[in-house]
Amino acid sequence: MENKARQNPSVAVIGAGMTGILMAIKLREAGITDITILEKADRLGGTWRENTYPGVACDVPAHMYTYSFRGNPEWEHRFAHGDEIQKYFEEVSSEYGVTEQIRFNESLDQAHYEDGKWKLVTSKGNRFEVDFVVAATGILHHPAYPDIEGMDSFKGHMWHTARWNHDVDLTGKRVGIIGTGSTSTQIIADIAGKVGHLTVFQRTPQWIFNIPDKDYTEADKARLRGNQKLMAKLSERYAFVMRNTFTKAVTGNKLAHSVISWMTKRNLRKSVRDPELRAKLTPDYKVGCKRLIFSSKFYHAIQRENVFLETTGIDHISEGGVVVNGGQEHELDVLIIATGFHPFNFMRPMDLTGRDGRSIDQAWEKKVQAYRSVCLPGFPNFFLMLGPNSPIGNYSVIAMSEVQTRYVLKLMDHWRQGDLETIEATEEAKVRYNEYLKAGMGKTVWVGGCQSWYLDPDGDPAMWPYSWDQWVKEHEEIALEDFHRTAPAEIVPIRPAEKAA
Ligand code: NAP
């Protein structure tokens, strides 16, 4: 390829959520202007557009949950509410001229790599080709529905938390909620005082850490307006605390873990007085094994007179409600499914085929793995943002995306300078990297005997097991030896008919 064309490659960014917007901004800052952003919905915002349930908020402090280059003086609460976050992304996207570049209501259906280019087909039937594809499709966006007998027979209203039905007013209603994760606890805290009766179906109790929320005053906001430096300082202060407490606690620092553990258990002891209820709410696994829930309101809500915590397993769903083992039926008007997401689907069901005609399903048949979370051997010039083993957890996913975006841009620079003919990590590098991750898992709390969405189908945590600082450091330099220096020759795939012959 001509050197000039290499300077301004064409890039397709899939998804206009937090990561897609960030990627578009940073690509342009790097002088890459030929960008196509495809967004399946009619609005940007990703998870904050999709999750509109009552009580939706971010449990990472708001001033830390911002792009490092664009603080937000207007946060209303320490833990920003969903609509505030949605507004923030809309503002930033528009300020940086990203919104006008987004092709809304158009998803990427097919992406095939051929002759050094990605050939793309969208849901509108549009076809085009690009040098790079960046999948900024998010992690938790495929709702997981429980496999419970009789789900279809329920005659009341029923919906998943990520598909909230705002047409139904919950006031005075008999409501049931299945699941007690981060989402459910936020909903319970918000609706308990409004509904007639709330039955919480808990399969496994969760550890809850209490960090009180705080409303920011007009004076707080005025102090920050126009002062990016001060906002960055505030953000770093929160990040410093998170890194040195929660992040350390889950990745093997015994002192940090015992402090967080003690505070979490004390929260339960002090907040829930009834020993029977407390026993029901006490997990039997290590604090942090499942994602630690931050809430200052949940224990209060669960102790309300109109709230009942059901811990007997669900037998089936009937026309009128939920029947638990032993036959007791909880009659309900509304049933909320708060059972989480399929975290390993990533950019699928997109029909994605890399070099040699290998599909992503084939590549991930045995295990969903990547090199440094973003590079997939066999899929040159393709980047999966927030891929497997990104250090997700109780930290800002924006900070993670910023590190990965810088990493991807450094890789693109090597391609632009001609150091790499294509950007493709080798299979050996991926294997080595994943062995390195595995070696660190043993000391983490995620292997502490609980089931969580952090674990892949083999029970291995798809998380980053070392420190945040180490993760950042390891993304500063590109290990060129981990990449194919020249494009590997393509093997023409054998079609089924040829095989049979
Ligand atoms: P989740 O953490 O995966 O929780 C799902 C809940 O549903 C669990 O209590 C689980 O029980 C239960 N469940 C699943 N299948 C069930 C079944 N068949 N029968 C009964 N119960 C079942 O999902 P989530 O609450 O939606 O949260 C997912 C993630 O989203 C969070 O961990 C977090 O990363 C993110 N999130 C973040 C925020 C934020 O403030 N930043 C807010 C909400 C969500 P078991 O524990 O027994 O499996």
The pTM (predicted TM-score) of the whole model is: 0.95
Say if ligand 1 is within 6 A of residue 340 CB. Answer: yes
Say if ligand 1 is within 6 A of residue 386 CB. Answer: no
Q: What is the mean pLDDT of residues 64-85?
A: 98
Mean per-residue pLDDT over the chain, rounded: 95
% of the chain with per-residue pLDDT over 90: 93
Position 270 pLDDT exceeds 50? yes
Say if ligand 1 is within 6 A of residue 453 CB. Answer: yes
Q: DSSP for 97-130?
A: T-GGGEETT--EEEEEEETTEEEEEETT--EEEE
Q: Hey, which of 160, 161, 339 would you mutate to test ligand 1's pocket, going by the most ligand atoms within 8 Å of its Cβ? A: 339
CA of residue 338 to ligand 1 center, whole Å: 6
pLDDT of residue 486: 82
In one letter, which amino acid is 60?
A: V
Give the Cβ contact number of residue 385 at 10 Å: 29
420-446 pLDDT tens trace: 999 999 999 999 999 999 999 999 999
CA of residue 185 to ligand 1 center, whole Å: 9
- Edge-to-edge strands, sheet with 382-384: 102-103, 35-38, 11-14, 132-135, 382-384
CA of residue 111 to ligand 1 center, whole Å: 31
Which residues lie closer than 8 Å to 208 by C-beta, 6 or more apart? 185, 264, 267, 268, 292, 293, 294, 295, 298, 299
Say if ligand 1 is within 6 A of residue 369 CB. Answer: no
Say if ligand 1 is within 6 A of residue 295 CB. Answer: no
Position 449 pLDDT exceeds 90? no
Which residues is 263 bridged to in the sheet?
none
pLDDT confidence band for 314 (50 / 70 / 90): very high
Q: Are 471 and 464 in contact (CB under 8 A)?
A: yes
State how far the Cα of 444 lies from the Cα of 392, in Å rounded to an integer.
Answer: 14
Say if ligand 1 is within 6 A of residue 181 CB. Answer: yes
pLDDT of residue 497: 46
Residue with tokens 């989402």: 183
Question: Both tokens of residue 467?
Answer: 């420190």
Residue with tokens 């940073």: 26
Say if ligand 1 is within 6 A of residue 339 CB. Answer: yes
Q: Residue 412: which H helix or E strand, with range?
A: helix 397-417
Position 460 pLDDT exceeds 90? yes
**Which atom of ligand 1 is least distant from the CA of 294?**
40
**Which atom of ligand 1 is least distant from the CA of 60?**
41
Say if ligand 1 is within 6 A of residue 146 CB. Answer: yes
Q: Are 382 and 135 in contact (CB under 8 A)?
A: yes
390-399 pLDDT tens trace: 988 789 999 9
